[in-house]
Amino acid sequence: MLEKLSSSLRGTLEKISKALFVDKKLINELVKDIQKALIDADVNIQLVLHLSDKIRARMIDENVPSNVSKKDFLIKVVYEELIALMGGAEKKLEIKKKPTVIMLVGLFGSGKTTTAGKLAKYYKKYGFRVAVLQTDTYRPAAFEQLEQLATRVGVDFFGIKNEKNPQKIFKTFLEKLSKYDLVIVDTAGRDALSKDLIEEISALAKLIKPDERLLVISGDIGQTAQHQADEFHKSCNVSGVIATKMDGTAKAGGALTACAATGTPIVFIGVGEKIADIEPFRPKNFVGRLLGMGDIEALLEKTQEAISQDKAEDLSKRVLKGEFNLIDLYEQMSALKNMGPLTKVMDMIPGMSKLKLPQEVLESQEGQLEKWKHAMDSMTQEELEDPVVITPARIDRIAHGSGTPSADIRQLIKQYKKSKKLIKMLKGGGQGVSEKNLQKMMKRFGVNS
Ligand SMILES: Nc1nc2c(ncn2[C@@H]2O[C@H](COP(=O)(O)OP(=O)(O)OP(=O)(O)O)[C@@H](O)[C@H]2O)c(=O)[nH]1
Ligand SMILES: [Mg+2]
């Protein structure tokens, strides 16, 4: 799916990583590449221009966090803007109320009936009791088509063969359907969004009161999906879109971005004719996959302003166990640099939240960080994990390897020892930190409590 777009975008990212530095020329080149890739995928030109402007503006207006290279930052901006183009946050269908009712609407051949079967299988897999209801009295053999799918999937099917009134069908099964967790309602389509179709859908929706009215759109119509999504949204108030046939069309990007632009979230995508060929649509994962960046999350974590909760917890646990090494020190320092994080770490250590580190301490460490990072890049794993092994001879080796003065490396080790001592004192407090230890520590930092 979207192989061409994917390979073009990957090529562009490779260009960034190979570039010596990020300048205006590179950004312009990158923006041009992305424009071409998106236009080839049938993305609307206005959307493409908007995305280009956003990337350029953000590279000018935003400060690159100091622990992130400009290249990584550029990749992050591209990634985030592509996600926004695909609709931003994920909309998850909630199956909480019993029964949750999903009504599928859309034009002829868009994939409603197939999708009803796919959704039934998808949710059955998660342990929901699912039923499908056929209200399409228009297409010949719609009854049999859904009945067969339901049998294959192993869910219950409801429908009345040869009945012409969709509302009557629903009323007939109203009570039986209330026993299911999820009811998926298939409806009739038309060639175009005619008055006839709008009236039928509106009346049926009024009666059924579905929790979700999902518009099924064929992805191969590309950016013209916008018109369809708009029209359906206006007349039937759809709550989400399912884009089908995303396999085997070069225009899938156009359909996705067009639907996203209408403000209606895309909830699922159909990626093949088989019953299992459906995926929840998560813009973040989708773009990540498109760009081929398995470790994009790691990159983003690095660029996050604050240390993540998990990391902070992990660090504080290790600190309390006394397993504090140079990597931890470095992480702690970078966290400090981005302000606030160490306070977060401290909040998790009993008693520590009372302590406020003086500004000078934070600032003096800041300037060292970059040098220390270089030095640490030249250290072995053993040295990082157990800095006691760093002898003067090793300091010289690290200094040579990293181009950092030996004095800075000695200072790093001194800082490490100081931090370790501090932590020992903390541990000395038994369960938490005693008031006495806290005062001692504050004195050490020149703070008067
Ligand atoms: N390749 C591919 N084909 C699909 C996908 N979803 C549906 N189809 C095919 O599209 C055709 C039409 O699907 P239906 O489910 O019958 O469409 P419908 O919206 O119910 O059509 P009407 O009942 O006529 O309104 C079928 O041949 C499906 O196999 C998909 O995700 N990928
Ligand atoms: Mg159908």
Q: Give the pLDDT confidence of 305-362 residue by residue, as tens digits.
A: 334 555 555 666 666 666 677 777 766 666 555 544 444 444 444 344 444 445 545 4
For ligand 1, atom 29, name the residue with the nearest CA: 273
118 Cα nearest atom in ligand 1: 6
**Please, which pLDDT band fits residue 401 given cuts at 50, 70 and 90?**
confident
Helix and strand numbers, DSSP H then E, in the chain: 20, 8
Classify residue 306 as left (phi > 0), alpha (psi -120 to 50) or beta: beta
Q: What's the rounded Cα separation, in Å, for the pair 286 and 272?
A: 16
Confidence label for 403 from pLDDT (cuts 50, 70 and 90):
confident
CA of 200 to the centre of ligand 1 (A): 21
Q: What are the sequence ranges of the domains in the chain?
A: 3-88+296-300, 100-281, 305-444
**Longest Cα pair distance anywhere in the chain, in angstroms?**
91
In CATH terms, the superfamily for domain 3-88+296-300 is SRP54, nucleotide-binding domain (1.20.120.140)
Q: Of all protein residues, whose CA lies closest to atom 5 belonging to ligand 1? A: 245
The residue that leads in pLDDT, 251 or 385, is: 251
CA of 108 to the centre of ligand 2 (A): 7
* pLDDT on residue 67: 73
The span from the CA of 294 to the CA of 114, in Å, is: 31
CA of 176 to the centre of ligand 2 (A): 23
Helix, strand, coil content of the chain in percent (nearest 5): 60, 10, 30
Task: Tell me the CA–centroid distance for residue 88 and ligand 1, in Å.
Answer: 27
Q: How far apart are the CA of 97 and the centre of ligand 1, in A?
A: 29
Q: Are 219 and 43 in contact (CB under 8 A)?
A: no
Q: What is the mean pLDDT of the chain?
A: 82
Tokens (6 digits) for 312: 């902070």
Question: Check: CATH 3.40.50.300 for 100-281?
Answer: yes
Examine the pLDDT at 175 and tell me if it is beyond 90.
yes
* Secondary structure of residue 144 in the 3-state scheme: helix
pLDDT digits (tens, 9 = 90+) for 13-71: 888 877 877 888 899 999 999 999 999 999 999 999 999 999 999 998 988 877 778 88
Confidence of residue 431 (pLDDT cuts 50, 70, 90): very low
**With a 6 A CB cut-off, is 189 part of the ligand 1 pocket?**
yes
Rounded distance, CA 181 to CA 404, Å? Answer: 64
Ligand 1 pocket, 121 CB below 6 A?
no
- Percentage of the chain beyond pLDDT 70 is 77
Q: Are 134 and 169 in contact (CB under 8 A)?
A: yes
114 CA from centroid of ligand 1 (Å)? 5
Q: Which CATH architecture has domain 305-444?
A: Orthogonal Bundle (1.10)
pLDDT of the residue at 428: 56
Ligand nearest to the CA of 139: 1
Q: Is the CB of 117 under 6 A from ligand 1?
A: no
Compare 348 and 436 and report the one with higher pLDDT: 436
Instruction: Give the span between the Cα atoms of 422 and 426, in whole angstroms.
Output: 6
Residue carrying the six token digits 């312009």: 28
Structure tokens at 33: 């590449």
- Under a CB-based contact definition with an 8 Å cutoff, are residues 225 and 259 in contact? yes
Q: What are 22's two structure tokens?
A: 């990020």
Indicate whether residue 112 lines ligand 1 (CB < 6 A). yes
Within 237-358, where are the H helices?
Answer: 252-261, 283-291, 296-303, 309-321, 326-337, 341-348
Residue 272 has pLDDT above 70, yes or no: yes
Which of these ranges, 165-179, 373-387, 418-432, has the smallest mean pLDDT? 418-432
Q: 404 alpha carbon to ligand 2 midpoint, in Å?
A: 70
Residue 301: pLDDT over 90: no
Mutate to test the pocket of ligand 1, among 113, 114, 143, 271 (most ligand atoms within 8 A of CB): 114
DSSP 264: P
Residue of 210, 183, 185, 197 whose CA lies nearest to 108: 197
The Cα-based distances of 129 to 77, 99, 145, 184 in angstroms read 42, 9, 21, 11
Q: What is the pLDDT of residue 18?
A: 79
One-letter amino acid at 430 equals G
331-335: long-range contacts (C-beta < 8 A, 24 or more apart)? 331/307, 332/419, 333/365, 333/368, 333/369, 333/372, 334/67, 334/369, 335/306, 335/307
Q: In this structure, are residues 361 and 336 in contact, taking their beta carbons and an 8 Å threshold? A: no
In what side-by-side order are the strands of the sheet with 156-158?
156-158, 130-134, 182-186, 100-105, 212-218, 240-244, 266-270, 278-280
Which ligand lies nearest the alpha carbon of 134? 2
Instruction: Output the pLDDT for position 331.
Output: 67
User: Tokens 């009712």 label which residue?
Assistant: 101
Strands 100-105 and 212-218: what pairing? parallel
* Ligand (nearest to CA of 191): 1
Cβ atoms of residues 332 and 345 within 8 Å? yes
Structure-block tokens of residue 317: 């646990």
Sign of CA dihedral 276, 281, 283, 285: negative
99 upstream amide cis, omega within 30 of 0: yes
Q: Got the DSSP string for 40-104?
A: HTT--HHHHHHHHHHHHHHHHHSPPPTTS-HHHHHHHHHHHHHHHHTTSS--PPP--SSSEEEEE
